Chain A
Amino acid sequence: MKKRTGVFVCHCGINIAGTVDVKNVAEELMKHSNVAHSEDYVYMCSDPGQKLIENSIKEHSLDSVVIACCSPNLHETTFRNCAKAAGINEFQCEIANIREQCSWVHKDKLKATEKAKKITHSTVERVVKNKSLEPISIPVTRRGLVIGGGIAGIQAALDMANSGYEVVLVEKSPSIGGHMIQLSETFPTLDCSQCILTPKMVEVSKHPKIKLLTYSEVQEITGYVGNFKAKILKKPTYVDPTKCTLCDECIDVCPIVVPNEFDLGLTGRKAIYIPFPQAIPATFTLDIANCPGLLPIACGKCMDVCEPEAINYDMKPEIIEEEIGSIVLATGYDLYDKENMKEYGYGKYADVLDGLQFERLLSASGPTMGEVLRPSDHKVPKEVVFIQCVGSRDPELHCAYCSKICCMYTAKHAMLYKHHVPDGQAYIFYIDIRSGGKDYEEFVQRAKEEDGLVYLRGKVSKIFEENGKITVWGADTLAGKDIEINADMVVLATAMRPAKGAEEFAKKLKISLDKDGFLSEAHPKLKPVESVTSGLFFAGAAQAPKDIPEAVAQASGAASKAIIILSQDQLFHSPMVAKVSLNLCTGCGMCVDVCPYDSLSLKDNKAEVNEVLCEGCGTCSATCLRAAIEVKNITPVQIYEMIDASVGG
């Protein structure tokens, strides 16, 4: 049956009609043998405009329409919905862009009108050969995956699980908790970090909908939104958590001592260990990298003493495959490497610490049981220098960005130090104070006023050890003088970096990172938790430096986005996908090579399209020598006709 196309030319006030003779365009197109109706109207996108289109479709029994108006980026959806409302397939509606690409860029009305006719004619040729298409529906695996078990990952997993969906939570270290569990008290309220986090950790471990995989890493993610497959490597802990009674016997006998990661090297731990008492899962882990050897057994002491026989040297790495509908990435941060901050004596002098080490010193469960003592001689430091922006806001040498939370935690550190050592003196070098956030400015002011902190605006030029003191040379730019402080301890607010291995991990998962290595969101304003891959969301410090409330808020945001996917009965995918003509295809596989989405494969010597993966880019179709593959509704035959119309007479 011959197509009956309607052409609707919009004036867009004078935006189009000022340069294009819209009536003439409509009249001209009426001559086309497929055009059953054409008209012009002042604002097609207005309600009456849309009504007009709807009525014309019905009145003239149109089966396809071309709207000659502004860019399809603006109103394609409007008009497709309008076509749909009038009972025709939405893919039978195409937009001829005669505004941005014509009326707005030309002056000569005659010529602009001729060009508008060609553009509209070309679009009519396209629509005449358009097929009615239905969005491709894809099933959804109603199961979420959260990668990273810091506060952000924990929150996202809990939100998803509490909405009734199963969640797999993967954490690479032996326990969940992330950096928050290492903190002492948290700004601005000074609640104890462990006190507010451990209940959530326990909730995770007890939640019937959460499958927790610690000491595990995601190796591969394949598939697409609604239907991902994750391959997860679970490393052996050599301790059966169901049997381990946390009796500590093994620790007592283990002869190997290594720096304790949880205390950032301020204490030691054994090769068999529990990261911290409230670890979830509550069990021991045998750190094979530091154990003298299991196969053949070199020591075996722990196994000998373990009464419940929880220790099993034969445990093997396990590959766990999970089917997943949507994913939240919450791999968090790490602090800027010591290596990079040699100029501050960081890593060289025992009493130069980073913020997290200082958190451990402040922590009631820390190496000093909450007493602030110098690591070098366990004396109470009477003068402490805090330095902000270490490695941050330094585009030449370090990171260009602001790590955002250091101003706040430094104020907190100095304040807590004063609470522990009331007669001590705290100096803070800063560039400026950024305390945007609810109650944050008040917190900083309180620290300044009540605790008598000395804020020095300026940079530190040199730090060196002398007679058991750490001498800090700096400048107070406000007072305009040089300063020398003989401190007992220096605490550096080092920059927040994406978690170690994030780059490799991103490569494996084909996720894009921003210039600093943080996860890059789909839109900085409107899609802050979405990645460009649909079905993959971000939460926490992996996306940018953040404090806990922000990490938690973003986690809930990401979880709700992930839930939107999980809650669908099915998802829809654009039907403008590749299609193979089996009679032409010789199975050369060139299209398979070029497809950026791995949506093509060879089956029985012919190309086969996985419609769900295909994004309709058409690269395959230009590559195929036999023109055996084309993208629906923008086929070579359509282009052929469009070229005809575009060249014109």
Chain B
Amino acid sequence: MVNLEEIKKEAKKILEEGKVKYIIGYAKSSNALMAAPTFVKKPEDIDKLIWDPTCFQNLVKFLIDEKRKKAREKEPDTRPIGIFVKGCDSRAINVLLQEKFITREDVYIMGLSCEDVGVLDKKKIFKKLKGEKPEKIEFDQRKNIVISTKEKTIKIPLKEILAERCLECTSSFPVISDVFWGDRNNRSPKEPFKCLEQIESLSQEEKWDFWQQQLSKCIRCYACRSVCPMCYCDECVVDSINLAITADTTAEEKAQKIKWIEKSPESSENFGYHLVRAMHLAGRCIDCSECERVCPVDIPIRFLNKKLEKVTKELFDYKAGLDPEQPSLVSSFKDEDPEDFIR
């Protein structure tokens, strides 16, 4: 069992020792169902820290901001950043290491095992509450959640309101860490890709209808991209004209910009965006589901990424973020890679 007091003790210690620049962790927010990211800089502030199933955000995204900030500083503080990570989040760190976006020395990884639980899916709870606003929540034996609203108090089994990804999670503990709390028990959900079956069983036209309906909702706010720890590119191919600007680029060329994908939220462009993004996340997406969580129009983005996760596993026996030393999915190959689809 993860003991919050031990976590705080370690956090306090490393802050006092000056071992880290600051710690990115979770604290209570005004929204009872959602922990807020917090940046603890002083030892006396560690009591803010919490650890429970409301800590669903992936804090790794903040490392990207930190890197950008550091790049602008003249004399940056080069101490590592302390960061709390769950199993999925830790794999995001591995991908960033693999892609050399950060170095191991940049982070002090504080690993938290989700053990047999996981994190909440806010949307599932909202459905259960039918519009009532939660005032207070408590966890009962890590089995149930007890939610109090103005009107009433209800008890819901955690199973029913855990995030889908947690229900399908195969390694609910960090695969890389400097300190670690909780157990390292592998979970083995029988069908880790069960969620895809529904779509996979559709006919081709039904698939199209499904995605057409879903993706036509996209307003191209790019919240999904902004929250994704893997979407750290300075300039996304989807925005950029992708004209390599070098010393010999003429003004005229700059003026004749082309875009692979237009920003307008039309069907073709929306498909373009999501296809490109899904391709770019193949072998990189670690299924933190942040993209889907933040989507204001509830597009099931996870089903796209999860599909490629499945394909990647089945065709290439590759899983994202397991090992920072492994070559990237698309920058490697095996002689025996399948080619039965090739004429």
Contact = CB atoms under 8 A, between A and B. Distances in A.
Q: Do chains A and B touch in the complex (CB under 8 A)?
A: yes
Interface of A: 1-2, 129, 131, 579-581, 583-584, 586-591, 593-594, 602, 605, 623, 625-628, 630, 635-637, 640-641
A602 B101 CA distance: 12
B114 to A, nearest CB: 29
Listed residue (A580, A589, A630, A637) with the most chain B CB atoms within 10 angstroms of its CB: A637
Contacts of A602: 100
Nearest to B237: A627
8 interchain residue pairs of minimum CB distance: A593-B331, A581-B244, A588-B99, A590-B331, A627-B242, A594-B331, A625-B280, A626-B233
B234 interface: yes
11 contacts: A1-B252, A581-B246, A584-B240, A586-B101, A590-B328, A590-B330, A593-B328, A623-B330, A626-B233, A627-B240, A630-B244
B243 A586 contact: no
The main secondary structure of chain A at its interface with chain B is loop
A636 B250 CA distance: 17
Interface string B199-242: 00000000000000000000000000000000011111100111
Contacts of B232: 586
A623 B246 CA distance: 20
Given A590-B328, A627-B240, 9 more contacts: A579-B246, A584-B233, A586-B101, A586-B234, A591-B331, A626-B235, A627-B237, A627-B242, A640-B258
B280 to A, nearest CB: 5
B327 to A, nearest CB: 5
B191 to A, nearest CB: 30
B44 interface: no
Nearest to A581: B244
A605 B100 CA distance: 8
B237 A581 contact: no
Interface residues of B, number: 28
A625 to B, nearest CB: 5
A131 B248 contact: yes
A581 B260 contact: no
A641 B232 CA distance: 28
Contact of A593 (B237, B245, B332): B332
Nearest to B330: A623
A621 B118 CA distance: 39
Contact of A625 (B233, B244, B258, B327): B233
Contacts of A587: 100-101
A593 B331 CA distance: 6
B209 to A, nearest CB: 26
A586 B233 contact: yes
Contacts of A588: 99-101, 328
Interface in B328-343: 328, 330-332
A640 B248 CA distance: 20
A576 B12 CA distance: 57
Contact of A641 (B233, B246, B258): B258
Interface in B116-165: none
Contact of B327 (A2, A579, A593, A636): A593
A581 B240 CA distance: 12
Contacts of B240: 584, 627
Contacts of A637: 241-243, 258
B245 A583 contact: yes
Nearest to B253: A129
Nearest to A602: B100
A590 B99 contact: yes
A579 B100 CA distance: 20
B243 to A, nearest CB: 5
A579 B232 CA distance: 22
B234 A623 contact: no
A635 B258 contact: no
B235 A623 contact: no
Contacts of B99: 586, 588-590
Contacts of A594: 331
Contacts of A586: 99, 101, 232-234
Contacts of A627: 237, 240, 242
Contact of B237 (A580, A605, A625): A625
A579 B246 CA distance: 9
B94 to A, nearest CB: 13
Contacts of A640: 258, 260
Nearest to B71: A605
A636 B235 CA distance: 16
B11 to A, nearest CB: 31
A584 B100 contact: no
A586 B237 CA distance: 13
A225 B99 CA distance: 32
Contacts of A131: 248
A510 to B, nearest CB: 17
A641 B243 CA distance: 12
A635 B244 contact: yes
A589 B280 CA distance: 15
Contact of A581 (B236, B245, B248, B332): B245
A583 B235 contact: yes
Nearest to A588: B99
A636 B237 CA distance: 11
A623 B331 CA distance: 7
Contacts of B242: 584, 627, 636-637
Contacts of B253: 129
B333 to A, nearest CB: 9
A2 B244 contact: no
B237 A626 contact: yes
A591 B327 CA distance: 11
Contacts of B246: 579, 581
Contacts of A589: 99-100, 331
A583 B331 CA distance: 21
Nearest to A641: B258
Contacts of A628: 244
A595 to B, nearest CB: 10
Contacts of A593: 327-328, 331-332
A403 to B, nearest CB: 33
Interface string B71-108: 00000000000000000000000000001110000000
Contacts of B260: 640
Nearest to B101: A586
A637 B250 CA distance: 14
